[in-house]
C-alpha cells in the first residue's frame, strides 16, 4: 500500500519510517505528541513548481500559514522561495528565518496600520489589497513614510473551488477580495492615490482544491479584468493565481503541481499574456504530506456491545488532542492513522480520541487498528495546518517538532513547559 507522503514515508517490514528513520524510535527519543517533518519531501514538492515554471517570469511564494515553523521557512528561503504572509507576526518570522522581504507578498483582509508600516519599512514586494478602505489606509501610511506602496488588488472571481466551505475563498459570499464587478473602479481609485503603485492582480479561490477547472475559470475571469484595466491605462505587471492545490489524504487525486502550472501557462499563452510574471502561493501542497504527528496510546476503552444493534463505540485514547491537530475537529477532516510498528494481531475498529475535555476531541473515527497501550501511532499528512493551528487549550503545552534531513535529525522546536504558558499572567494584589 502506498502511503500519503511516499516515497519519503514508507513501511520497512513492521516499522513505519520517514526518510529512513523509524518513527517509533523518534517518538521514544523526543517524547509525544511530536511533529516530524521531512526536509527532502518539502524541497521535492517545491522543485515540482520551480521546474514547471523554468524559463518563465515567476515567483513561488510559500503560503506560510500552512506551517510557519522557522526551520520550515528557512528551508524554503534557502531554496529561493518567496513568502505569502497574512500578518505582521508572519513577516517577523520570515525575517527571523533569513527570508528576503523583497520576495514577500502581504495578503489578508484586516491589515492594521502598524502592520502596514512594518511591511513598508521592511520593503516587502507588495500588498494584496482586499477592500477600498484598505487602499485608502495604505495610501495614508505610505505617504506618511515618504514611500509608495506596491499593490495588487485581490479580486473575488466568484468561482466555486469545490472544497470545504470553511476553506472556500473565491465565492461572492466569502469575506475575501473585491467583487469582480467592482474591481475596475477599484483599480481606477488605486491608480489615483499618490501613495500607491499598481503592480498586479491577485486571486485565491480556496484550499485543498483537487480539480484544474476552478483554477482555469478563475484565471479567465482575472485576465478579462486585466484587459479591461489596461484598456483604462493602468498597467498590470504580474498575475497572482494564489495557491490552494490539494494533497492526497485518503483517495483524493489532485493534479500534480507540474500539471497545474502547465495548464495555467497554456491559458496565459493562449490569451496573449505569456509575457506576464506569474505568482503562485502554494502552502499545503509543499508541506502537507511532508509531516506526521506522533502520539502514544494511553488507554483502550472498548465497548462490549460495539457493532451490535444500537451498540456503542471503541475508544483508543492517545496523548495528542484537538489542541495539537485541529483539522479533524474543525473540518471533520479524514487523516490516515498508522501504527509506527505494526502488530501481528487481529485489528478492531477504534475511534482515536485525545485527552481534551470536548466530545469533538478526536483524530480519527472508525479506524481499523491492532493497538495496545504504549504503542505509537502516526497521524499522516500533518505537515500543513497542524502545528500552525495548535493551541494551549486545557493548559496543554504544544508539541515538540523535529526536522529530518537525510541522516540528520534536528530538534527544531522544543516542547513547551507548562510554566511558560502562564508566565505573562499576573495574580491580583
| Statement: 107-282 belongs to CATH 3.20.20.10 | yes
Which pLDDT score, from 0 to 100, does residue 173 have? Answer: 56
64, 83 in Cβ contact below 8 A? yes
pLDDT of 419 higher than 90? yes
**Mean pLDDT, residues 181-198:** 96
C-alpha cell at 81: 522561495
CATH 3.20.20.10 occupies which residues in the chain? Answer: 107-282
Beta-bridged to residue 278, according to DSSP, are 58, 239
Average pLDDT, the chain: 93
Residue 305's pLDDT is 66
Which residue numbers are catalytic? 357
**397-413 pLDDT, tens digit each:** 999 999 999 999 999 99
Query: 57-114: per-residue pLDDT in tens?
Result: 999 999 999 999 999 999 999 999 999 999 999 999 999 999 999 999 999 999 999 9
User: Is the per-residue pLDDT at 372 higher than 70?
Assistant: yes
CATH 2.40.37.10 placement within the chain: 9-38+288-421
Question: Is pLDDT at 169 greater than 50 in this prediction?
Answer: no
pTM: 0.93
pLDDT value at 116 more than 70:
yes
* pLDDT tens readout for residues 319-353: 999 999 999 999 999 999 999 999 999 999 999 99
Architecture label for domain 9-38+288-421: Beta Barrel (2.40)
pLDDT digits (tens, 9 = 90+) for 25-45: 999 999 999 999 999 999 999
Tens of pLDDT, residue by residue over 218-266, are 899 999 999 999 999 999 999 999 999 999 998 889 999 999 999 999 9
CA separation for the pair 217, 228 (Å, rounded): 17
Residue 160 has pLDDT above 60, yes or no: no
Q: How confident is the model at residue 163 (pLDDT cuts 50, 70, 90)?
A: very low
Amino acid at each position: 500500500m502506498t502511503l500519503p507522503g511516499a516515497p519519503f514515508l514508507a513501511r520497512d517490514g513492521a516499522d513505519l519510517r520517514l526518510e529512513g528513520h523509524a518513527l517509533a524510535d523518534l517518538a521514544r527519543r523526543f517524547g509525544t505528541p511530536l511533529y516530524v517533518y521531512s526536509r527532502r519531501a518539502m524541497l521535492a514538492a517545491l522543485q515540482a513548481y520551480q521546474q514547471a515554471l523554468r524559463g518563465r517570469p515567476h515567483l513561488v511564494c510559500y503560503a506560510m500559514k500552512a506551517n510557519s515553523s522557522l526551520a520550515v521557512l528557512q528551508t524554503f528561503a534557502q531554496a529561493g522561495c518567496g513568502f505569502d504572509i497574512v500578518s505582521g507576526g508572519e513577516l517577523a518570522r520570515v525575517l527571523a528565518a533569513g527570508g528576503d522581504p523583497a520576495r514577500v507578498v502581504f495578503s489578508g483582509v484586516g491589515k492594521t496600520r502598524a502592520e502596514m508600516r512594518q511591511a513598508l519599512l521592511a520593503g516587502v514586494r507588495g500588498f494584496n489589497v482586499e477592500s477600498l478602505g484598505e487602499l485608502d489606509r495604505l495610501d495614508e501610511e505610505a505617504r506618511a513614510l515618504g514611500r509608495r506602496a506596491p499593490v495588487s488588488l485581490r479580486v473575488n472571481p466568484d468561482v466555486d473551488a469545490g472544497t470545504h466551505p470553511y476553506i472556500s475563498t473565491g465565492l461572492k459570499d466569502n469575506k475575501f477580495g473585491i467583487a469582480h464587478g467592482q474591481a475596475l473602479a477599484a483599480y481606477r481609485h488605486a491608480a489615483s492615490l499618490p501613495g500607491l503603485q499598481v503592480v498586479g492582480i491577485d486571486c485565491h479561490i480556496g484550499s485543498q482544491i483537487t480539480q484544474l477547472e476552478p483554477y482555469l475559470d478563475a484565471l479567465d475571469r482575472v485576465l478579462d479584468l486585466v484587459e479591461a484595466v489596461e484598456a483604462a491605462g493602468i498597467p498590470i505587471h504580474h498575475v497572482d493565481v494564489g495557491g490552494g492545490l490539494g494533497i492526497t489524504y485518503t483517495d483524493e487525486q489532485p493534479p500534480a503541481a507540474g500539471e497545474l502550472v502547465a495548464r495555467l501557462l497554456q491559458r496565459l499563452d493562449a490569451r496573449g499574456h505569456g509575457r506576464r510574471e506569474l505568482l503562485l502561493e502554494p502552502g499545503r501542497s509543499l508541506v502537507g504530506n511532508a509531516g506526521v504527528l506522533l502520539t502514544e496510546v494511553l488507554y483502550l476503552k472498548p465497548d462490549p456491545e460495539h457493532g451490535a444493534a444500537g451498540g456503542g463505540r471503541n475508544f483508543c485514547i492517545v496523548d495528542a488532542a484537538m489542541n495539537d491537530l485541529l483539522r479533524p475537529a474543525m473540518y471533520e477532516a479524514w487523516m490516515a492513522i498508522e501504527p509506527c510498528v505494526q502488530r501481528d494481531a487481529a485489528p478492531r475498529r477504534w475511534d482515536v480520541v485525545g485527552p481534551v475535555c470536548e466530545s469533538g476531541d478526536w483524530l480519527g473515527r472508525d479506524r481499523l487498528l491492532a493497538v495496545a497501550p504504549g504503542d505509537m501511532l502516526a497521524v499522516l499528512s500533518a505537515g500543513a495546518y497542524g502545528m500552525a493551528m495548535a493551541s494551549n487549550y486545557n493548559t496543554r503545552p504544544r508539541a515538540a517538532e523535529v526536522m529530518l534531513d537525510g541522516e540528520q535529525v534536528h530538534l527544531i522546536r522544543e516542547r513547551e513547559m507548562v510554566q511558560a504558558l502562564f508566565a505573562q499572567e499576573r495574580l491580583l494584589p
